[in-house]
Amino acid sequence: VLNNKLLALGHQVTVAGSVREAQEIFERDGFGAFDCLITDCCMAEQSGLDLLVWLKDQDPTLASIIMSRDANEELLTRLLRCGASDFLEKPVMSENLKSSLARTLESTQRRRRHAATNSAVIEAGLVQRRMNDPSKTTDFDTPLTVCYHPRHQAGGDSVSFFPQPDGRMLIVVADVSGHDLKSAFISAYFQGMLRGLVEEGTSTRLIFERFNRFLVGGWNSPPGQAPDGLSEIISLSACAIAIDPASRSMHVLNSGFPIIHRLRESGEPMPCGDVGGNPLGWFDPAEITDLSFPIDKGDRLIVWTDGLEDFAHQLGVSEWSLAFRLLAARESDQDPVWLRKAPDDLLVIVARVSESIPEVERFPLLRAEYPVAEKFEVDLVQARWAQTLSFAIPDVSSDRATDALLCCREAVLRALASDGPRTGGRCIVQFTVDASVQELEICVISPGIAFRPPAVDPDHLSDEERGLFIVHQIPTRVSLSDCGSAIHMHFSLSPQIDLLRP
Amino acid sequence: MNNQFIPAAQMLHIAIPGDLLSTNADQFRASARAVIESSVTGNGCLGVELDLTRARMVDSAGLNAIIGVIRSLSAHGKKTLIRVGDPHVHRVCLFTRLDRIAEIVRN
Contact (CB<8Å) A458/B88: no
State whether residue B71 sits within 8 Å of chain A by CB: no
Chain B residue with Cα closest to A400: B88
| Confidence class for position A90, pLDDT limits 50, 70, 90 | confident
Is the pLDDT reported for residue A311 higher than 70?
Answer: yes
Contact (CB<8Å) A461/B96: yes
Is the pLDDT reported for residue A151 higher than 80?
Answer: yes
Considering chain A, what percentage of its residues have pLDDT values greater than 70? 92
> Before A285, cis peptide (omega within 30)?
yes
| Confidence class for position A13, pLDDT limits 50, 70, 90 | very high
Contact (CB<8Å) A458/B97: yes
Considering chain A, what percentage of its residues have pLDDT values greater than 90? 46
End-to-end CA distance of chain B: 19
Contact (CB<8Å) A470/B100: no
Chain B residue with Cα closest to A467: B60
Chain B residue with Cα closest to A471: B60
| Neighboring chain B residues of A378 at a CB cutoff of 8 Å | 21-23
| Confidence class for position B35, pLDDT limits 50, 70, 90 | confident
Is the pLDDT reported for residue A84 higher than 70?
Answer: yes
What mean pLDDT do residues A38-46 have?
Answer: 84
| Neighboring chain A residues of B63 at a CB cutoff of 8 Å | 466
> In whole angstroms, what is the distance from residue A373 CA to residue A28 CA?
78
| Confidence class for position B66, pLDDT limits 50, 70, 90 | very high
Is the pLDDT reported for residue A194 higher than 50?
Answer: yes
- B92 and A406 in contact (C-beta within 8 Å)? yes
Distance of residue A385 Cα from the nearest chain B Cα, in angstroms:
15
Which has the higher per-residue pLDDT, B82 or A501? B82
The length of chain B, given as a count of residues: 107
| CB contacts < 8 A (A, B) | 56
Minimal Cβ distance to A470: which of B22, B60, B87: B60
Contact (CB<8Å) A502/B97: no
Minimal Cβ distance to B57: which of A402, A467, A473: A402
Is the pLDDT reported for residue A2 higher than 70?
Answer: yes
What mean pLDDT do residues B38-52 have?
Answer: 82
Indicate the SS3 state at residue A40: strand
pLDDT at A225: 66
pLDDT at B23: 92
State whether residue B4 sits within 8 Å of chain A by CB: no
pLDDT at A420: 55
- Provide the edge-to-edge strand list for the sheet that holds A260-263: A144-149, A346-352, A300-304, A260-263, A269-272
What mean pLDDT do residues A108-124 have?
Answer: 88
Task: State the maximum Cα–Cα separation within chain A, in Å, rounded to a whole number.
Answer: 105
Chain B residue with Cα closest to A379: B23
DSSP, res A154: S
Q: What global pTM score does this model have?
A: 0.79
| Neighboring chain A residues of B97 at a CB cutoff of 8 Å | 458-459
pLDDT at A325: 92
pLDDT at A499: 40
Amino acid at A44: A
pLDDT at A495: 60
Task: State the maximum Cα–Cα separation within chain B, in Å, rounded to a whole number.
Answer: 35
Considering chain B, what percentage of its residues have pLDDT values greater than 70? 89
Contact (CB<8Å) B22/A378: yes
> What dihedral angle (degrees, nearest 10) is formed by the CA atoms of A198, A201, A205, A209?
-80
Beta bridge partner(s), residue B48: B12, B80
Which has the higher per-residue pLDDT, A171 or A69? A171
What mean pLDDT do residues A358-382 have?
Answer: 85
Residues 376-435 of A with CB under 8 A from B: 378-379, 399, 402-403, 405-406, 409-410, 413
Is the pLDDT reported for residue B41 higher than 50?
Answer: yes
> In whole angstroms, what is the distance from residue A231 CA to residue A390 CA?
44
> In whole angstroms, what is the distance from residue A384 CA to residue A390 CA?
10
CA distances from A430 to A252, A317, A321, A412 (A): 25, 14, 11, 11
Contact (CB<8Å) B64/A463: yes
- HEC string of A324-380 equals HHHHHCCCCCCCCHHHHHCCCCEEEEEEECCCCCCCCCEEEEEEEEEECCCCCCHHH
Contact (CB<8Å) A502/B100: no
Minimal Cβ distance to B59: which of A399, A410, A459: A410
Q: Give the DSSP H or E segment for A78.
A: helix A73-82
HSE-CB of A10 using CA atoms within 13 angstroms: 2
pLDDT averaged over every residue in chain B: 87
State whether residue A459 sits within 8 Å of chain B by CB: yes
Distance of residue A456 Cα from the nearest chain B Cα, in angstroms:
13
Contact (CB<8Å) A410/B100: no
Chain A residue with Cα closest to B99: A459
What mean pLDDT do residues A319-326 have?
Answer: 94
Minimal Cβ distance to B95: which of A402, A410, A470: A470
State whether residue A502 sits within 8 Å of chain B by CB: yes
pLDDT at B4: 65
What mean pLDDT do residues A119-130 have?
Answer: 81
pLDDT at A137: 64
Each residue of B67-95: pLDDT tens digit? 999 998 988 888 999 999 999 999 999 88
DSSP, res B39: I
pLDDT at A423: 58
Distance of residue B15 Cα from the nearest chain A Cα, in angstroms:
21
Nearest residue to A178 via CA among A312, A283, A307: A307
Distance of residue A446 Cα from the nearest chain B Cα, in angstroms:
19
CA angle B49, B52, B55 (to 5 degrees): 170
| Confidence class for position A222, pLDDT limits 50, 70, 90 | low
Nearest residue to A328 via CA among A348, A356, A311: A348
Which has the higher per-residue pLDDT, B60 or A331? B60
Please return the burial class of A499, using the count of CB atoms within 10 Å of its CB with bins 0-12, 13-18 and 19+. Answer: exposed
